[in-house]
Amino acid sequence: MSAQRKSGDTILAAARVRAEANGAVAPIADRYEAKARTSLDPATPRTAGGELVPADDFATTTLPAILDTLANPDAVAADASRNRLDLAKEAGCLEMGLDTADTIRASDGLERMLAHQLATARVAAMKAAVAMQQHLEEVGRTRGPSRQAACVEAERMARAYARLTGSFQAGMQTLQRVRSGGRQVVVVQHNHIGEGAQAVVAGSVTGGLRLGDGVGVKGISGDQPHAPCSCDRLRGAFAAPRCGARRRDKGSCRQPAMANGRCRMQGGASTGPQTPEGLERSPRSTWKHGRYSAKAIAFRRRLARTVRDLRAATRMVEEQ
């Protein structure tokens, strides 16, 4: 079966003919472009996702025909539809792309391309997640350099998964902006409070209430009598003793102090092991394998000394 010439090639040929004509009348170029822009039959069938069905055996035998109508399609639209399907098939997301286009009810080529991009990002993200899981399972089975390499690959796949899911979410937001025209809808709700009733609503924020000692607190404006500012309680909170521990920036900690004089971050209630049993149990809590314990190090030193002595004795015997 001979390959059908694409409309893009036809329009490109028309542009070249006009360029060679150098501004003169080019009937051949007009015929080429008219052929590419000729409207197709309004009854041209469409497949899932709103794509046109090309007139060849590939599309008619492999794609499920979910029929729809297209207003004034031309050869350019048909070739663009075929290209979208081919690219989606090569990317491994043809079925998901068509289902996504049906789900969002894509109305034009731009939304169909966006649907295919969303499907591609989704498929790639799931494949990256599968690869990440495989590397993580390999981490549990191996040791040494192989385990380190598996950890590196798992981390790479995790970053790829995060980027792909971010692209998918950005595509969803793009679709919403395209359909809304970039407009934002602000809903203003009016609450009517009857006499004797109470309601908690947000009041306007003033420039700040100074409580002294260089401390500023945001307060509620005076036109909201139902939400008074508890200034006395705030003064009591700021008057609490401070921790005063030395920070890494050479300043002093300003967190409220506990009964022991330190804050919850600089020194809590725990004082560490104090009893003999606790002091004996503390080293064992961090015990791993004992390779670097005092006994193990002393044993390895004695063993190395013995090996050196044996080698020296062996050399002496050989020299005699």
Give the pLDDT confidence score for residue 298 in this predicted structure.
94
At residue 277, the pLDDT reads 87
What global pTM score does this model have? Answer: 0.40
pLDDT of residue 204: 45
Mean pLDDT, 10 residues at a time, over the chain (320 residues)? 58 71 78 73 59 49 36 65 80 83 84 88 92 90 88 92 92 85 68 61 46 44 51 73 87 87 77 82 82 91 94 89
In sequence order, which residues have a C-beta less than 8 Å from that of residue 37 and are 6 or more positions away? 74, 75, 76
DSSP state letters, 132-194 = HHHHHHHHHH--THHHHHHHHHHHHHHHHHHHHHHHHHHHHHHHHHHHHTT------------
6-43 residues labelled b (16+ CB within 10 A) or e (exposed): bbeebbebbeebbeeeeeeebeebeebbeebeeeeeee
Q: What does the alpha-carbon distance between residue 155 and residue 148 come to, in Å, rounded to a whole number?
A: 11
Task: Report the C-alpha gap between 97 and 84 in whole angstroms.
Answer: 10
pLDDT value of position 268 = 63
What is the pLDDT at residue 6?
60
Contact 108, 131 (CB under 8 A): no
Cα gap 136→115, rounded to integer Å: 32
